[in-house]
Amino acid sequence: MKMKLRFIVLTCLTLLSLKCFSQDKKFYIFICFGQSNMEGNAKVEARDTTAVDSRFQVLQAVDCGDKGRIKDNWYTAVPPLARCTTGLTPADYFGRTLVANLPENIKVGIINVSVAGARIEIFEKDSYQSYLATAPGWMKGIAGEYGGNPYARLIELARLAQKSGVIKGILLHQGESNPNDTLWTKKVKGIYDNLIRDLNLKPKKVPLLAGEVVNADQGGVCAAMNKIIATLPQAVNNSYVISSAGCTCSPDHLHFTAEGYRLLGKRYGVQMLYLLGYKPKETIKL
């Protein structure tokens, strides 16, 4: 009996050591979620698909056969970084900014699960069903690509990513569908707390970066929401708001242009670099 118990213990220790050995501490993983602006709405241009450093990777969330990508696998982060037909996202130039400024032995990985048009409630672990029940068919279709439960898919991908690297931060861009919602910060905190708990993370080591919606200086139709987003650090201690001032938008004044996404993504990246203890080579106003 003692020999059998000893064998079991040794086997468990061996498996644990193998798991730890396979995790690259210099592979920095970032979780991205939100609605259409985090999915990426602007058309991808040629400059966005060339010279993407192989150190910048995306963990594919859905199958994209026409692009030769299979879900749950890592690929060089050539856009789109969300679903197959989405466009440029802040995550694109967030990752590019990081790899351009971090030591060459550090890789960056992105996970992106976002749902266009969705309220923040779609990511609430215990009540998303009630929100989706009344959602339009096209939104249910997007959620269906994530198995009908975007939060669960986010966790599934994050756990898979943790076998390869270390989660270093969470990026959020959402709010257009929660205008004037004074409970938004409380809801975001609940989702953040669940992510930290379900992924066994330490909140002091995993900051939350939340971007503003299209700014008033661009005539953003939801710009008033930025006043609520600005209060997020009062609800989530380790959170930071990324300014959208000067980020150009499309004619609908809801979504950013490709140039707007590039600037916003760089601002996410610069903020994260400072949090990681690195000074960016390029001066970008936060």
Catalytic residue, candidates 48, 239, 244, 255 = 255
Element containing residue 94 per DSSP (H, E): helix 90-101
Whether 255 is catalytic is yes
What string of H, E and C letters represents the secondary structure of 1-23?
Answer: CHHHHHHHHHHHHHHHHHHHHHC
Report yes or no: 23 and 165 within 8 Å, Cβ to Cβ: yes
Give φ, ψ of 112 to 5 degrees: -135, 110
Residue 270 to residue 283: CA distance in whole angstroms: 9
Kindly tell me the burial class for residue 54, based on how many C-beta atoms sit within 10 Å of its own C-beta (0-12, 13-18, 19 or more): exposed
Residue 269 to residue 95: CA distance in whole angstroms: 7
Whether 22 is catalytic is no
Report yes or no: 225 and 176 within 8 Å, Cβ to Cβ: yes
The CB density around residue 18, as the number of other CB atoms within 10 Å, is 9
Element containing residue 57 per DSSP (H, E): strand 56-59
Catalytic residue, candidates 164, 173, 252, 253 = 252
Catalytic residue, candidates 22, 36, 198, 243 = 36
Instruction: Tell me the three state secondary structure of residue 142.
Output: helix
263: left (phi over 0), alpha (psi -120 to 50) or beta: alpha
Whether 36 is catalytic is yes
Give the CB-side neighbour count of residue 110, counting CA atoms within 13 A: 35
- Strand partners for 32: 112, 171
The residue type at 58 = V
Q: What is the set of active-site residues?
A: 36, 252, 255
